[in-house]
A and B are shown apart, each in its own frame.
Chain A
């Protein structure tokens, strides 16, 4: 069966510090990978998605970036965090289905607080 991991689970960082959140998927190959952010009391906002190694699409201009160094690894980064980067970050995966969609399955999330 497939599983998705995210770490760390919780992170408190000062403004201006760098960020690296990691997401890995097990039990599948060539998945589509996604990063979402959820602000308190709100729905999910898609930040980045990737259909393959080194292929990243950005949905929202911001000071965050994403990378996919390996097939089942997706990393969310920032060089300098802003207060507005606080939130709950969710990684998700779906099967690559060549143009149609498959269900997205979510990881446990990372709660980021920027002080």
Chain B
């Protein structure tokens, strides 16, 4: 069965600094999708970034980028120039055709210090 692991329950970063959130997953599929979602205190889940497994190029969205290592089954999120508004719970998620559903990790709570 597919699993998603986020080994960092909490992280902290200074404003304007860079932080990397870790995510590993386990799958036997070759074609799948990976996502990072942000959940601020309002609790609405907001898509941060998406990566297709068949693409070798790492996805980027403004200050957010990923380091996708398919062989290592690793999918980390880098946040550059951290802002106070980045403080939130971040969830890594996996989607594969075998299960046809989105599988979430347990989340990493990111605090941004002014």
Residues on A lying within 8 angstroms of B by beta carbon are 34, 38, 42-44, 46, 49, 59, 88, 90, 92, 99-101, 103-109, 111
A-B contact count (CB 8 A): 43
The 8 sampled A-B contact pairs (Cβ below 8 Å) are A43-B91, A46-B102, A49-B101, A59-B101, A90-B45, A101-B97, A103-B47, A106-B44
Q: Cβ of B33: which chain A residues have Cβ within 8 Å of it?
A: 101
> Is residue B75 within 8 Å, beta carbon to beta carbon, of the partner chain?
no
Binds A, one of B17-25, B64-72, B76-84, B103-111: B103-111
A101 pairs with B44, CB closer than 8 A = no
Interface residues of B in 13-40 (CB under 8 A from A): 33, 35, 37
Closest approach, in angstroms, between the C-beta of B108 and any C-beta of chain A?
11
Give the A-binding residues of B (Cβ under 8 A).
33, 35, 37, 42-47, 50, 91, 95, 97, 101-102, 104-107
Bound Cα distance A18, B51 (Å): 40
B95's contact among A99, A101, A109, by CB below 8 Å, is which? A101
Q: Bound state CA distance, A100 and B101, in angstroms?
A: 11
Cα-based distance from A92 to B39 in the complex (angstroms): 14
Q: Is the CB of B42 within 8 A of A43?
A: no
10 smallest CB-CB distances across A and B, nearest first, come from A106-B45, A43-B104, A44-B104, A108-B44, A43-B106, A101-B95, A46-B101, A109-B43, A103-B50, A101-B33
Nearest Cβ on chain B to A87's Cβ, whole angstroms: 11
